[in-house]
Every structure is written in C-alpha cells, then in structure tokens.
Amino acid sequence: MSNALLEVRALNAWYGESHVLHGVDLDIREGETVTLLGRNGAGKTTTLRAIMGILRRREGAIRLRGRDLLALPLHRVAQTGLGYVPEERGIFASLSVEENLALPPKVADGGMSIEEIYHLFPNLYERRHSQGTKLSGGEQQMLAIARILRTGASLILLDEPTEGLAPVIVQRIGDVLVALKERGMTILLVEQNFRFARKVADRFYLMEDGRMVNSFPGNELDSHMDELHSVLGV
Amino acid sequence: MSTIFGIPAPALYGQILIGLINGSFYALLSLGLAVIFGLLRVINFAHGAQYMLGAFAAYGLLSYAGIDYWPSLVLAPLIVGAVAMAIERTMLSRLYGLDPLYGLLLTFGLALIFEGAFRYWFGTSGKPYSPPAQLTGAVNLGFMFLPIYRGWVVIASLVICLGTWLLIEKTRLGSYLRAATENATLVQAFGVNVPRLLTLTYGLGAALAALAGVLAAPIYQVSPLMGSNLIIIVFAVVVVGGMGSILGAIITGYVLGVLEGLTKVFYAEASSIVIFVVMAIVLLVRPAGLFGREA
Ligand SMILES: Nc1ncnc2c1ncn2[C@@H]1O[C@H](COP(=O)(O)OP(=O)(O)OP(=O)(O)O)[C@@H](O)[C@H]1O
Ligand SMILES: [Mg+2]
C-alpha cells in the first residue's frame, strides 16, 4: 500500500535476548482507525513501543509518510507527528493535571487548544489543579488521551484505553474516539474489547505470538467471529 | 549585658549568624546535589570539587585577567557548568542504566583528580580573596555587628535557592525535569530531548556548586581542599532532607547550619558531630529523609 500514512514491514523486535515480534506488517492510511486485537502477551504493546522507538532493538522497516523512523533517536519520533498513549497511562505524580496536559511538546500545528480540550473533558477542567495521579483511573485515561490532542500529532497510538474502566467511562472514551475520528485523526488502537472497538474501527488486525495472523475491514467483523474467539481465547 | 539561657546575647546571635552562613552553603550545595540526584540518579561526589573549582575560577579570573567579584559571580558558574557538561557528555552519560555505584565511583575519581591537580599547582595553603569594596565593613544592628559580606551571602543564597525552586516548580523546563525524574523514557517519547536535559541538569547542579564557591571565596579563602571538607556534611544534609527532595535540601541546609551554630554555644564539644547525630536518628526513624517520599 503506497498511500499509507504508517507502513510497518517485516518488523522484528527484542526485549534483550527475547525475540518478541516476528515479521510484523501493518499499514494505516490517513484518517483511518485501525484496531489491533490479540490476547494477553500477543505483542500488541510491544508493536506500539517498537513503532515509537521506546523499544530500541528492532529490525525491519517503519515509515511514516515514507520517512524511516528506525534511524531516529527516541525524542525525534514524536516530532514526526506520532502521539503515544501508553497502556499504563503514564500520568506524572509530581505534575498537576494542567501541567500533565501541557507537558508533551507541540509537534505540529492544528492540535487542540487547552480550552477545546477542557470543553471535551469537563472533569479535567474541574480538577486541573489536582495532582495528576489523584485522578480516578478513568480521568487519568482521559488525561493521557487529552494531552496528546494538544500536540498536533497526526497519528495516535492508543494502548487499551478501556482496560479496567467502568462501562460509563468506556462509553465516554468511545464518544471521544468518534469525535477524534470526525476531526480526521488517524488512530492505531490496541484493544481486547472488540465490541468497543467495532464502533470506531475501519480495519482490524489480528495478532498472535508476535505475528499478524489476519486483517479485515471493520464491517466484516461478524464473519470472523470464530477466528476471533480462537485467537482472543474468549 | 543581656543574657539568654545564661549565654551572652551577642555570642548567641554571633553563632546563629555563623550557623546561617554555613547553612547557606549547605543549602546551596545540597540543592545542587538533590537536583542532580533527582534526575540523573547520580550521587555526585565531584560536587565539593566543583565548589572548589568555582572559587578557583573566581581567584584565577581576578589574578590572571583582572576580572573582579561581580562578573565572576556569573562567569565562574558558567565555566564550571561547561566543564561539568563536557564531563556528563563524555563520561557520565555512558554509565546511565548501570548500578548508581558506577556514577558515584566516577565522580569520586574526578574529585580526587581535580583536588590533586589543584594541590599540585597551588599547594594546600589558602589563597586570600577580598570581598568587593561595596560589601566590606559592618553594620550595627543594635544587638550585634553584622559584617556586610556575610549578610550578603545569606541573602544571595536565599535568593538563589528560591530562584532554583521556582525554576523547577513553576516553569515548563522544570515540569520536564520533574516528569523525567519519574519516567524519562515516556518524556522522551513525547519528543523532549531528554539526553540534553540530563546534560543541562548536571551543568546546572555544578554551576550552583561553583556559585557557592565564589560566594565562599572571601569568607573561607580559596584552597584545593575547601570542597572535600564541606562535602561530607552536605551529604549528611541531603540524607536528612531526603535524597532528591529540592525543598528538603534547602530547608534542611539552613536548619542544620543554625543547629550546628547553636550547639557551638551550648555544648561546643558536640558541634562538629551534631549534624551526623541528626542524620543517624533520621535514618533510623525515617529512612527516606524528612522531606523524602517514602518508597
Ligand atoms: N519488558 C519486557 N521484557 C521482556 N519481555 C517482555 C517485556 N514486556 C513484554 N514482554 C513479553 O513480550 C511479549 C509480548 O508482550 P506485550 O506486552 O507486547 O503483550 P500485549 O499484547 O500488549 O499483552 P496485554 O494484552 O497483556 O497488554 C510477552 O510474551 C511478554 O511476556
Ligand atoms: Mg499490552
């Protein structure tokens, strides 16, 4: 696919000596929401960490708009327009909510202003002077997403944003993702909850043991249920 | 003559002043150590040598270039900060990710090299360095005579400590610093040049030590061993305040300085150990330090 925003080819990655990704291929087009499904330990987080450059021992190719990311030092990767929302959320205890929000440097024009973000997440506004880690799990997840929206990143890597959250919060995060999609944001979403992901996903990738085992459009989810159940072990 | 607890008031005030002055240096030095340790996880044993280098930079600027105290107050920290940043780039940065012991050993070795070299060039006897003309003399406060230079040191160190605290707590650079202290990888993944932040932080810590060295030059004389005499006490201050706690380093520095001064008045024999006694008690009761976060 030549018109891909992000292109991953034959990506291998290692934690020290342990070989975790085995030849991963992945394409994301501009404006698309792609969801990566796979059971615990399949290598979803590792894929995101390898794309961001947090995991350094990699082979293969990762290109954003044709530009090779593999050669860049970690802090240069975000500057190409990538935003990362880690699985563990990464809210800083020594920073207030507002400082957490303002922390990631802008990487491009067109990001949301703090006012727009507070409009989208009113509870962050109410708690803007609190210590970041004093927020509830759901609020911390909102904050982790919100702070990337400020940066103008064109591709957001979202690692299991609904993990461990109450249904109403999951619903809220779903609404936010729909809103971002409407703004033309490109999203790579890691999820185990495919019922949640089907609301936003244009395409699914299925991952097992560090390999991509299948990929299909969002509207074909129902015809892949058997495979899904076996791969996800649900 | 008035007395307080049987002690003549002027003697008491005099020792409190000396304690405040010593405390100013404890605070400045432990502040730099705390900033460095917080982000780099390096126990900077070269801190005393960097303080000494600051004093010698001022001495050298005056003797060889005729540059006096006021410009030196800026130039000496810049020189020592630049040297420190070169050390961080070429040596310390190779040790990140290893056991903190390696950083400690490297900086300890560097301290020995700097002190040895300066002892070779200048001998161990102190070099006098006069305070600037504007700050000579004393004022009568009514209850005591205050040498103006000493008053200046206390005020200058308070301003520097407050400024550093504001830099860390209230600025964008400071928020990078605090965040990187918690999770450097994530901050770098957001696009912050963390390696450069580490270099700047080490430079800032060393520059603070050098600034303390310039402030100290007119009081204590300039000598190659001036730093190693002080640094052990400063490490005790950092432990009492809590490793890496900025506010803890500042407050503990002044408090322990004054406590040491008061001990001199009431029980002089204990004055050289009182800080270490406090350290031992704090380690037993609250190992993370008075202002440290419990692990
Ligand atoms: N820091 C690490 N060091 C060594 N191995 C790791 C590390 N992190 C993950 N792994 C291993 O890599 C494999 C993939 O892990 P990864 O975290 O990518 O899975 P995941 O798909 O994100 O799972 P989950 O749904 O539980 O988050 C697993 O076998 C895991 O044990
Ligand atoms: Mg994961």
| Ligand nearest to the CA of residue A39, numbered in listed order | 1
Report CA-CA distances (Å) from B32 to B25, B56, B168, B220: 11, 19, 12, 20
A46 contact B CB<8A: no
A78 touches chain B (CB under 8 A): yes
**What is the distance of C-alpha B87 from the center of its chain?**
19
ipTM higher than the 0.90 cut: yes
Q: Whose CA is nearest to atom 3 of ligand 1?
A: A15
Mutant choice from B168, B173, B186 vs A, greatest count of A C-beta within 10 A = B186
Distances (CA, A) of A69 to A27, A53, A64, B70: 14, 8, 7, 49
Atom of ligand 1 nearest to the CA of A207: 21
- For ligand 1, atom 16: residue with the closest CA: A43
Chain B interface test: which of A99, A100, A140 (most B C-beta within 10 Å): A99
How high does pLDDT run on average in chain B?
A: 93
pLDDT at A12: 98
CB contact under 8 A, B190 and A77: no
With a CB cutoff of 8 Å and minimum separation 6, the contacts of A135 are A91, A97, A127, A143
Q: What is the mean pLDDT of residues A208-230?
A: 92
* Chain A residues inside the 8 Å CB shell of B176: 103
By alpha-carbon position, which residue is closest to atom 24 of ligand 1? Answer: A40
CA distance A70 to B91: 26
**Which chain B residues are Cβ-neighbours of A93 within 8 angstroms?**
182
Predicted TM-score of the model (pTM)? 0.91
pLDDT (tens digit, 9 = 90+) per residue, B65-112?
999 999 999 999 999 999 999 999 999 999 998 998 999 999 999 999
Helices and strands in chain B: count of H runs, count of E runs? 10, 4
**Residue showing tokens 């900033």:** B35
Residues 6+ apart with CB under 8 A from A182: none
Residue among B37, B39, B36, B295 nearest B184 (CA): B39
B170 Cβ contact partners less than 8 Å away, ≥ 6 residues apart: none
**What is the number of other CB atoms lying within 10 angstroms of the CB of residue A9?**
13
pLDDT band of residue B240 (cuts 50, 70, 90) is: very high
Q: How far is the CA of A44 from the centre of ligand 1 (A)?
A: 8
As a CATH number, domain B3-285 is 1.10.3470
Q: Does B189 touch chain A (CB under 8 A)?
A: yes
What residue owns the CA closest to ligand 1's atom 19? Answer: A41
Residues A144, A131 contacting (CB under 8 angstroms): no
- Is the CB of A99 inside 8 Å of chain B's CB atoms? yes
- For chain A, what is the domain count? 1
* Residue B93 touches partner A, C-beta closer than 8 Å: no
Confidence of residue A3 (pLDDT cuts 50, 70, 90): confident
pLDDT the model gives residue A1: 46
Look at residue B276 and tell me whether its pLDDT is greater than 50. Answer: yes
> How far, in Å, CA of B28 to CA of B209, rounded?
7
Average pLDDT of span A41-62: 97
Q: What pLDDT shows up at residue A203?
A: 96
Which residue type, as a one-letter code, is found at position A6? L
User: Which residue on chain A is closest to B188 by alpha carbon?
Assistant: A75
Check CB contact under 8 Å for B190 and A78. yes
What's the CA gap between A158 and A200, in Å, rounded?
Answer: 13
Q: What is the pLDDT of residues B15-72, one digit of tens each?
A: 899 999 999 999 999 999 999 998 999 999 999 999 999 999 999 999 999 999 999 9
Tens digits of per-residue pLDDT, A167-213?
999 999 999 999 999 989 999 999 988 889 999 999 999 999 999 99
Q: Note whether A93 and A131 are within 8 A (CB).
A: yes
Q: What is the rounded average pLDDT of the residues A130-159?
A: 96
Of residues B172, B186, B194, nearest to A86 (C-beta): B186
Flag whether residue A95 sits within 8 Å of chain B, measured between CB atoms: yes
- For residue B21 the two structure tokens come to 């002055």
What would the two tokens of residue A155 be? 């591709």
Nearest residue of B to residue A87 by CA position?
Answer: B186
Count how many pairs of residues, chain A against chain B, have C-beta atoms within 8 Å.
58
DSSP string for A125-152: HHTTTSBGGGS-HHHHHHHHHHHHHTTT
Q: Please check whether residue A137 touches B, CB under 8 A.
A: no
Domain of A61 in residue numbering reads as 4-232
Q: What's the one-letter identity of residue A43?
A: G
The CATH number for A135's domain is 3.40.50.300
Predicted local distance difference test score (pLDDT) of residue A174: 94
What distance in Å separates residue B40's CA from the closest CA in chain A? 16
Residues with CB under 6 A from ligand 1: A 15, 18, 20, 38, 40-46, 87, 192
pLDDT value of position B143: 79
Helix B47-65, helix B69-90: angle, nearest 10:
130
Asked if the Cβ–Cβ distance from A103 to B176 is below 8 Å, we say yes
B188:A75 CB<8 A? yes
Q: Return d(Cα B41, Cα B1) in angstroms, integer.
A: 52
Give me the residues paired with residue A59 across strands.
A12
Give the model confidence (pLDDT) of A79-114 as tens digits: 999 999 999 999 999 999 999 999 999 999 989 999
> Which of these, A132, A123, A136, A217, lies nearest to A176 by C-alpha position?
A123
pLDDT of residue A234: 67
Q: Which pairing describes strands A186-191 and A155-159: parallel, antiparallel, or unpaired?
A: parallel
Q: How confident is residue A2, by pLDDT bands cut at 50, 70 and 90?
A: low
> In sequence order, what E strands does chain B have?
3-4, 7-8, 138-140, 145-147
Residues near B188 by Cβ (< 8 Å), separated by ≥ 6? A74, A75, B180, B194, B195
Q: What are the strands of the beta sheet with A186-191, ordered from one edge?
A: A82-85, A155-159, A186-191, A33-37, A203-208, A211-217
Question: Which amino acid, residue B236?
Answer: A
Count of residues for chain B? Answer: 295
Residue type, A193: N
CB distance A222 to A199 below 8 Å: no
Q: What is the distance, to the nearest Å, from the Cα of residue A70 to the centroid of all Cα atoms in its chain?
A: 18
**Residue from the list A73, A99, A103 with its beta carbon closest to the beta carbon of B190:** A103
**Which residues, by Cβ under 5 Å, contact ligand 2, an ion?**
A 45, 87
**Could you please report the per-residue DSSP string of B205-266?**
HHHHHHHHHHHHHHHH-B-TTHHHHHHHHHHHHHHHH-TT-HHHHHHHHHHHHHHHHHHHHH
